[in-house]
Amino acid sequence: MTSPLAAKIAREYGTPALVIDMDRVERNIARVQSICDAAGVANRPHIKTHKSPLLAQLQIKAGAKGITCQKLGEAEVMADAGINDILISYNLLGDEKMARLGALLAKTHVTVAADNEVVIAGLPGAAAVARRSLPVVIECDTGRKRAGVETPAEVIALARQIRDARGLTFAGLLMYPTETGWSDAQRFYDEALAGLRQLGLDPAIVSTGGSPNLKNVGQLKGATEHRPGTYIYNDRMQVAAGVATWEDCALHVYSTVVSRAAPDRGILDAGSKTLTADTGGLDGYGLILEHPQARIARFAEEHGFLDLSRSNTRPAVGDVVRIVPNHVCVVVNMSDEVVMVRGDEIVGILPVAARGKLR
């Protein structure tokens, strides 16, 4: 059965539609800011989830010290909106990026991350374009085996390179410990810190992340800030991680049931181009709030295949349902805009201004 709000959204905007509950968004912002405040670390939210200058500004107004971006293109959008404290938590390489980074640095305070000598060797080019010093943090792998140096000795070597490079300033360390790896991260940090001090360096920034680690904020002695991102909307993965409830999930995908060819199956108008094929290690591709026992079992690009065999209630053709996606960051990046609501009222359209920034 379709709710009055869902019917109104389908009538005015069509489906599939991304809908955010602004009351929940604001509660999530306030809740995580209070977690960081209580732990004595700054909040530097990652905007890769919402990609919206308006929401970033709400986070800063609530107390965030600045923002984190994953792509230079995201940072450019945020700087153009007047945000002036940006951390880019990703290796940047190449003349084209150095020219853009230099232009960005000339007009706003930006810090970049690096985990190898090749990246660091290129960064003075951006500082030269901006004619000002570029702060650099060293990314450290503390268990995820993604980007980041693997040993404190590598931290020391890169810090020395940054210290000696014209136009660069050593700013600190960037970490993303696993949810159970914070004691290992502490040992890594303590050893790296001792070596840095022998070089006459002290990290002004010791940055940890992200939303799955909200329950661990402040556990790293020496941390100065935390970089959560997904918390502003939340999703099935955050609920599974125990850092959010269904009531904290602020973004829902509204989708119409367009086919019920057999009793135990159906088709949604939201496929892989809307909900993403990222399972996040979960069963199915989203939770249908009106029919929680139903499974979005598989996808085509524009088809969501419903398995209704375990569902006591079954939607009819034309019903509009609300879906909590598995991984909301990817879902947002596939849409140009989201619909904002409060209660049962539509309050506006929010552009996803920094979406699609591949570089």
Domain ranges of the chain: 4-20+243-351, 22-235
Give the predicted TM-score (pTM) of the model: 0.96
Ramachandran angles phi, psi of 15, nearest 5°: -125, 155
Query: Which pLDDT belongs to residue 130?
Result: 98
Query: Which pLDDT belongs to residue 278?
Result: 87
Give CATH superfamily name and number for 4-20+243-351.
D-serine dehydratase-like domain (2.40.37.20)
pLDDT digit string (tens) for the chain, length 359 residues? 799 999 999 999 999 999 999 999 999 999 999 999 999 999 999 999 999 999 999 999 999 999 999 999 999 999 999 999 999 999 999 999 999 999 999 999 999 999 999 999 999 999 999 999 999 999 999 989 999 999 999 999 999 999 999 999 999 999 999 999 999 999 999 999 999 999 999 999 999 999 999 999 999 999 999 999 999 999 999 999 999 999 999 999 999 999 999 999 999 999 999 999 988 899 999 999 999 999 999 999 999 999 999 999 999 999 999 999 999 999 999 999 999 999 999 999 999 999 999 89
Query: Which pLDDT belongs to residue 324?
Result: 98
- Gap between the Cα atoms of 212 and 243, Å rounded: 6
Phi-psi region of 214 (alpha: psi -120 to 50; beta: other; left: phi over 0): alpha
Give CATH superfamily name and number for 22-235.
Alanine racemase (3.20.20.10)
Strands 320-324 and 337-342, bridge-based pairing: unpaired
Query: Which pLDDT belongs to residue 53?
Result: 98
Query: Which pLDDT belongs to residue 358?
Result: 87
Nearest CA-CA partner of 218 in 348, 47, 354, 43: 43
Query: Which pLDDT belongs to residue 1?
Result: 78
Q: Where are the beta strands (DSSP E) in the chain?
A: 17-21, 42-43, 67-69, 85-88, 109-114, 134-140, 168-175, 205-209, 225-227, 251-262, 265-268, 287-288, 295-299, 304-307, 320-324, 337-342, 345-351
